[in-house]
Structure 1
Amino acid sequence: MTAQVQSAYAALRPADVVLSPDDLGGARATRHSFSRSLVRRAVAGGWDITLGRADLDEHGCGVVVFDVSAEGHRWSFVAFSQTIDESDREDRVVASSWDVTAALVDGAVDDDDVARLRPEVIRQEQGRADERTLIWTRANRSGRFFEYVVDRLADGAQPEPGVFGLSPYLLRSTAFYSNGKFGLADFERFEHGHPFAVPYRAHMLSAWLLRELGYELAERCAAARSETAVRLDGDWRRYFGLGNATGLGMVPYVVNHPEVLDAWIRLRELPLADVVARTVDRTGPDVPRVRTLLERAARYLAEQGDTEPTPYTSGAKLAAGLRPIQDLLTEYATYGTMGGAIEAQPWQHLHEAAAAAGSEVRGVVASVLTELADDLDDVVEASLTCQERRDIDPKMRCGELRGLIDADYDWLREFDFTDPTQTERFWYSSANNEEPRRAYAGVDPGERVQHAVDVARAVHALSLDLAGAEAATSVGEFLLGHPWHRGAVARVQSVRDLEYAELHANLLAGDFLPLHVQRLQLAVYGMDNYNPQSTDWLRVTLFSGAPRVADLVDGTADDDWSFTPQPSEADERTYA
């Protein structure tokens, strides 16, 4: 570990701040989110992605194959496109048909391979994959935007700015399956150094190509309708992301995988800690870089208008919240001062000022500042692979176990579990929809098969019984008399060396808001344009503003696409 990384670890924000629901609810994508990492790897590795096959009719129905050559590897993204009734387009796991189904396959594919893949891939949950297939995914055309964009292009015009709301996309993904499910290839085959050895890299490639497919389908459909149709041009050719609607299912995942949560939080916090601790030359390139990014972020947010994406703040209000931060940086660039005083660490000052303005303002500023941490890209990527174990150390003494709980779970003092509102809800999986749900304890059925997401309550109950045990008593002996605490003991012992393993939240409380946890996870993936639809799910986009696959070939693929604003009026022009 280098001195730089050691220093950053020492300056990490404390867990009681980072893992609070309020802070999680301000999360934004950063340069180390999985989508950004994929594109950087593709550019650095000289990946070549081409459209190998596009057998589509006038409705965009047929087969599309993207060929990917990357660092001595070859993959094929095979997509089957059809049109379905609007009433059949849904995000639920139990959906039975989709506009697009696709597979990421190891190696090249021929006609026989495509014919063999089709009947399995289009059935998704009811299908069976082979050992060459890495990812299955599916998506639907946007009911709001796909036909609109096709009509505009068919008329020889680009789309109109301001039409697309908070979540601009042409296709909306509904699932990415991998790693053994339905017989898909096991990711353990990917050794260190393999492009897919990094978690979620194969998923991100599939998502990037699914987004590219959306562009291809819209432009093909437009060309079939009119001889004067045009392709998306200017800023429009990068503007749309891949849509996604995310529900409760993501929350139990991070509860059940504390090592993964710790790695994901460090992905965000380590680069931030390094940057805010830096001393800065106000005449150097970093100051104008941050000013430009803050200006872009403010424009991006202002364009979202006054719509309140409850429980979050409107884009207009967030843009206004950035103005004092921008003023501080302007003062620093001009005079070397902030608030009238000489400032040697302006990034720390900006971050603290943003945090004082609220978690969402802080999230924007943290995302901007992390852009300066390009020298930590490899360090962050290497830290994502983690080992997950739930072993019990029966020789540990009860006094030591109590000490671990006192040190690592002091946040439990926030909750009074004698208050019925703190155990008002439970989580379960719906037999009808095959998705996680929340229900009311003592009222709704399903408590007997509820998910074990009650870490706060379980550890609290363990601490109460440990209070009556002798300090010198072994944990093994304690569990002989209290076997129901086995899971909580394994949890506490297994994560004791992890700073960010536990959400500082009670998922059973009536006022627990799942959106904050979902937003953190989505930000790690690289999603943005958060548009909540209820307390339990929200719409987002992935890869909005990202390079197109053709940009890899012509050398215009870049890593500067955070906070992508709407295309300007200059791109709303009509072509002859």
Structure 2
Amino acid sequence: MTTAQDRRVGTGFPRPTERLSRAQSRARSADVVLSPERMGAARHTRHSFARSMLRRAAQQRWQVTRERWEIDSGGRGEAVYRVDAAGVRLRFVVFSTELDERQRTDRVIAESWDVTAALIEGPLSEERMSSLRDHVPGQETGRADAGSLVWTRANRSQRFFDYTVERLAEGRQPDPAAFGDAAYVLRSTAFYSNGKFGLQDFDAFPAEHPLAAPYRAQMLAAWLLRELSYDLVEHCAAQRSAAAVRLSAGWRRFLGLGNATGLGMVPYIVNHPRVLDAWCAMRELPLAHALGQATDPQDGRVARLAELLAGAQRYFAERDTLVTTPYAPGPELAEHLGRVAELLAEYRARGTVGATPTSFAWQALHDAAERIDVEACGVFDSLVVELYDELDEDVEQLLRCDESLALQPEQDCGELLDSIDSAYAWVDAFDFGEPEQSHYFWFVSADSEEPRRGRRGHDPGEQVEQPVDIARAVARLRDDLRNADPASSVAEFLLARPWHRGTACRVQALAATPWAEVRTNLLARDFLPLHLQRFQLAVYGMDNYSPQSTDWLRVTLFSGAPRAADVAAGIAADDWMFTAKPEGEHA
């Protein structure tokens, strides 16, 4: 069995702050961090985009005001929410309708949605409102003005939306059993930004802008969609009955925003390797910092972790109907977490973990959780990071990264081969002489406008195959380099073999980047896209993972998160992960 020390990165790779650089030297190796199974076990943390956005909003007491509400009894019309954020005035402009159920689809190629909206900066004149009205509902067919930051759209969950309206109109709260294990009334289908359709380029934001951090604008738009969902169901209920009630405090916290994701997320992290490294660092460096802290059984953090573990156990035990295959069902995961909780209780009582005395309980518990179950370890890692907030500001500095990859034509072929043997030894796990390792090819569908994968030699489209085959490409480059003169330059090598240029450039540029390459082969028959999708969704801050196939899954965002009134009062409620279902409020 490998020890914790064997799994360390052991690199001096620089990070933007001294504390992060120290954590990097203690962090886990790329072979561990980027193994697909561990990526698939990731859960959101205090540094996920949704969490960090709301924490900053509460720190600065952002004020959300419903400035315009011209909505009829069916939830159709226009609304404007004003957001005053650290001296910057933003608006969330909403166009709401009600589609026929046959028109409602979450696919990229949809042409109509129940809700479309724009997050904008700057004054909202009637002329500008008219322009937004002309362009935003069309989404892909529209054109944004320079002050528009995010365009988004969402659909009603017809079953949950109508059910919630009906219950509130009757003067009752929803029954949690009616929602199943993922509660929402709107589900988002896209968040467009950063230049698309003419939207403002985020590079124009000064460092002090409240939305300067990557993904902060999209998370704000998503959170405002969640606020809108409350207002819509309460408004429709009130229009239906004078006896209508508003959602209870518990329900207004518990309801999230629905979402679904497919294969399109997988090529993204292959094509943005430095973004992947930053996202891994956002998770791994706080974890390395936490696991390296000395502990004492009487420390308040021990009691706090016990509370968090108990909450996670309850959360997963409740999810006894959520579809999770091929992952463990919620109750089974709760049982695994119970075993970790028993070890923590042992430490509190006797200062031992598994009968072994320790002054570093977090590391011992992490190692024990990993032996119990990889998903239980993923949950434990998210919880232990909750105990330390001193890296919150540091972590945000990780997210802006230079994605340029520059070729070094003067490098010797021998040096390039050494880089591959050192940084890309993981490709040896795949024998590309075996058909199973090249079973799939990836392409972009002309019909759906989305990434797809086909069976090689069976499905059409190989002629437009996308270059996501990093493991195969590096293996082929390595084979040809072994037959080249090691003293010759990469430029000479590429003159004879130009098809290797992109791969050679990638290896050169990323060889020293700790977490840039997923340890998998996307072409393999046994490759499971869900692992990489779940990792990215955890980075965003989503949960309630419910796979619908090997290629796509449903999730919720902001379930349990603070509401606009909480944020305005400075209440971050920063421990809102794994929020239990409302009790006693539906009778």
Same-fold call, TM > 0.5? Answer: yes
Please report how far the alpha carbon of residue 67 of structure 1 lies from its aligned counterpart in structure 2 after TM superposition.
0.3
C-alpha separation in 1, matches of 2:67 and 2:508: 52
Higher mean alpha-carbon deviation, 77-86 vs 189-198, is at 189-198
Question: One-letter code of the match for 1:423?
Answer: S
* 1:196 equivalent among 211, 234, 248: 211
**Corresponding residue of 2:538:** 523
Check the 8 A contact 1:429/1:436 in 2, yes or no: yes
**Corresponding residue of 1:91:** 106
**Corresponding residue of 1:473:** 488
**TM-score in terms of structure 2 length:** 0.96
Q: Confirm whether residue 341 of structure 1 aligns to residue 356 of structure 2.
A: yes
Deviation readout 1:487-522 (Å, 9 max, x if unpaired): 100110111221000011100111111010000000
**Corresponding residue of 2:432:** 417
Q: Where does structure 1 lack aligned partners over 5 or more consecutive residues?
A: none
Secondary structure of the residue that 1:565 maps to in structure 2? Answer: coil
* 1:155 equivalent among 158, 167, 170: 170
Check the 8 A contact 1:166/1:531 in 2, yes or no: no
Deviation readout 1:12-41 (Å, 9 max, x if unpaired): 111111111111110100000000000011
Deviation readout 1:54-80 (Å, 9 max, x if unpaired): 111000111111101111111100000
Deviation readout 1:85-126 (Å, 9 max, x if unpaired): 111111111101000000001123133322220110000001
3 and 302 in structure 1: CA distance in 2 versus 1, 3 angstrom threshold: same
C-alpha separation in 2, matches of 1:366 and 1:321: 14
Deviation readout 1:529-570 (Å, 9 max, x if unpaired): 0000000000001111001112123444421201111111x2
C-alpha separation in 1, matches of 2:462 and 2:477: 21
Check the 8 A contact 2:153/2:191 in 1, yes or no: yes
Please report how far the alpha carbon of residue 458 of structure 1 lies from its aligned counterpart in structure 2 after TM superposition.
0.5
Q: Confirm whether residue 350 of structure 1 aligns to residue 365 of structure 2.
A: yes
Please report how far the alpha carbon of residue 305 of structure 1 lies from its aligned counterpart in structure 2 after TM superposition.
1.1
Please report how far the alpha carbon of residue 473 of structure 1 lies from its aligned counterpart in structure 2 after TM superposition.
1.0
C-alpha separation in 2, matches of 1:486 and 1:77: 45
C-alpha separation in 2, matches of 1:520 and 1:179: 23
* 1:329 equivalent among 344, 347, 351: 344
Deviation readout 1:437-472 (Å, 9 max, x if unpaired): 110111111111121111111111000000001211
* 1:46 equivalent among 46, 61, 83: 61
Question: One-letter code of the match for 1:478?
Answer: F
**Corresponding residue of 2:578:** 563
Check the 8 A contact 2:181/2:321 in 1, yes or no: no
C-alpha separation in 2, matches of 1:494 and 1:23: 25
C-alpha separation in 1, matches of 2:342 and 2:491: 60
Secondary structure of the residue that 1:104 maps to in structure 2? Answer: strand
Please report how far the alpha carbon of residue 226 of structure 1 lies from its aligned counterpart in structure 2 after TM superposition.
0.6
C-alpha separation in 2, matches of 1:4 and 1:283: 26
Please report how far the alpha carbon of residue 525 of structure 1 lies from its aligned counterpart in structure 2 after TM superposition.
0.3
C-alpha separation in 2, matches of 1:404 and 1:474: 14
Indicate the RMSD between aligned Cα atoms, in angstroms: 1.2
Q: Confirm whether residue 261 of structure 1 aligns to residue 276 of structure 2.
A: yes
Q: Confirm whether residue 59 of structure 1 aligns to residue 80 of structure 2.
A: no
* 2:189 equivalent among 164, 168, 174: 174
C-alpha separation in 1, matches of 2:356 and 2:372: 20
Question: One-letter code of the match for 1:261?
Answer: L
Higher mean alpha-carbon deviation, 265-274 vs 335-344, is at 335-344
Check the 8 A contact 1:411/1:504 in 2, yes or no: yes
**Corresponding residue of 2:13:** none
Q: Confirm whether residue 572 of structure 1 aligns to residue 586 of structure 2.
A: yes
Check the 8 A contact 1:136/1:176 in 2, yes or no: yes
Question: One-letter code of the match for 1:365?
Answer: F
516 and 211 in structure 1: CA distance in 2 versus 1, 3 angstrom threshold: same
Please report how far the alpha carbon of residue 234 of structure 1 lies from its aligned counterpart in structure 2 after TM superposition.
2.8
Check the 8 A contact 2:181/2:319 in 1, yes or no: yes
Question: One-letter code of the match for 2:196?
Answer: K
**Corresponding residue of 1:552:** 567
468 and 180 in structure 1: CA distance in 2 versus 1, 3 angstrom threshold: same
Check the 8 A contact 2:323/2:546 in 1, yes or no: no
Check the 8 A contact 1:198/1:384 in 2, yes or no: yes
Question: One-letter code of the match for 2:213?
Answer: V
Please report how far the alpha carbon of residue 214 of structure 1 lies from its aligned counterpart in structure 2 after TM superposition.
0.7
Please report how far the alpha carbon of residue 389 of structure 1 lies from its aligned counterpart in structure 2 after TM superposition.
1.1
Please report how far the alpha carbon of residue 429 of structure 1 lies from its aligned counterpart in structure 2 after TM superposition.
0.9
Question: One-letter code of the match for 2:200?
Answer: A
**Corresponding residue of 1:250:** 265
**Corresponding residue of 2:142:** 127
Deviation readout 1:166-216 (Å, 9 max, x if unpaired): 322111000011111111111111122222221101000000001111111
Question: One-letter code of the match for 2:62?
Answer: W
C-alpha separation in 2, matches of 1:446 and 1:124: 28
Deviation readout 1:313-358 (Å, 9 max, x if unpaired): 1000000001111011111112222222322011001111111122
C-alpha separation in 2, matches of 1:452 and 1:166: 38
Question: One-letter code of the match for 2:319?
Answer: Q
**Corresponding residue of 2:11:** none
**Corresponding residue of 1:102:** 117
Question: One-letter code of the match for 1:367?
Answer: S
* 1:23 equivalent among 20, 38, 41: 38
Check the 8 A contact 1:33/1:524 in 2, yes or no: yes
Please report how far the alpha carbon of residue 135 of structure 1 lies from its aligned counterpart in structure 2 after TM superposition.
0.6
C-alpha separation in 2, matches of 1:144 and 1:460: 50
C-alpha separation in 2, matches of 1:67 and 1:285: 40
C-alpha separation in 2, matches of 1:173 and 1:156: 28
C-alpha separation in 2, matches of 1:555 and 1:395: 56
**Corresponding residue of 2:8:** none
Secondary structure of the residue that 1:101 maps to in structure 2? Answer: strand
C-alpha separation in 1, matches of 2:371 and 2:323: 21
Please report how far the alpha carbon of residue 288 of structure 1 lies from its aligned counterpart in structure 2 after TM superposition.
1.1
Question: One-letter code of the match for 2:304?
Answer: R
Higher mean alpha-carbon deviation, 258-267 vs 542-551, is at 542-551
**Corresponding residue of 2:289:** 274
Please report how far the alpha carbon of residue 143 of structure 1 lies from its aligned counterpart in structure 2 after TM superposition.
2.4
Deviation readout 1:470-494 (Å, 9 max, x if unpaired): 2111111111111110010011011
Q: Confirm whether residue 491 of structure 1 aligns to residue 517 of structure 2.
A: no
Question: One-letter code of the match for 1:437?
Answer: R
Check the 8 A contact 2:59/2:570 in 1, yes or no: no
Higher mean alpha-carbon deviation, 117-126 vs 46-55, is at 46-55
C-alpha separation in 2, matches of 1:163 and 1:11: 46
**TM-score in terms of structure 1 length:** 0.98
**Corresponding residue of 2:329:** 314
Check the 8 A contact 1:167/1:530 in 2, yes or no: no
* 1:229 equivalent among 244, 267, 276: 244
Higher mean alpha-carbon deviation, 263-272 vs 552-561, is at 552-561
Secondary structure of the residue that 1:374 maps to in structure 2? Answer: coil
* 2:460 equivalent among 438, 441, 445: 445
C-alpha separation in 2, matches of 1:222 and 1:104: 27
Q: Where does structure 2 lack aligned partners over 5 or more consecutive residues?
A: 1-15
* 1:537 equivalent among 547, 552, 556: 552
**Corresponding residue of 2:159:** 144
Please report how far the alpha carbon of residue 373 of structure 1 lies from its aligned counterpart in structure 2 after TM superposition.
2.5
Please report how far the alpha carbon of residue 53 of structure 1 lies from its aligned counterpart in structure 2 after TM superposition.
1.1
Higher mean alpha-carbon deviation, 544-553 vs 122-131, is at 544-553
Deviation readout 1:216-248 (Å, 9 max, x if unpaired): 101101111110101111311111111101000
Q: Confirm whether residue 395 of structure 1 aligns to residue 410 of structure 2.
A: yes
Q: Confirm whether residue 13 of structure 1 aligns to residue 28 of structure 2.
A: yes
494 and 572 in structure 1: CA distance in 2 versus 1, 3 angstrom threshold: same
C-alpha separation in 2, matches of 1:165 and 1:265: 32
Regions of 4+ moved over 6 Å: none
Deviation readout 1:414-438 (Å, 9 max, x if unpaired): 1000000111111111111111111
Question: One-letter code of the match for 1:164?
Answer: F
Please report how far the alpha carbon of residue 307 of structure 1 lies from its aligned counterpart in structure 2 after TM superposition.
5.0
C-alpha separation in 2, matches of 1:25 and 1:85: 36
Question: One-letter code of the match for 2:94?
Answer: A
Percent identical among aligned pairs is 54
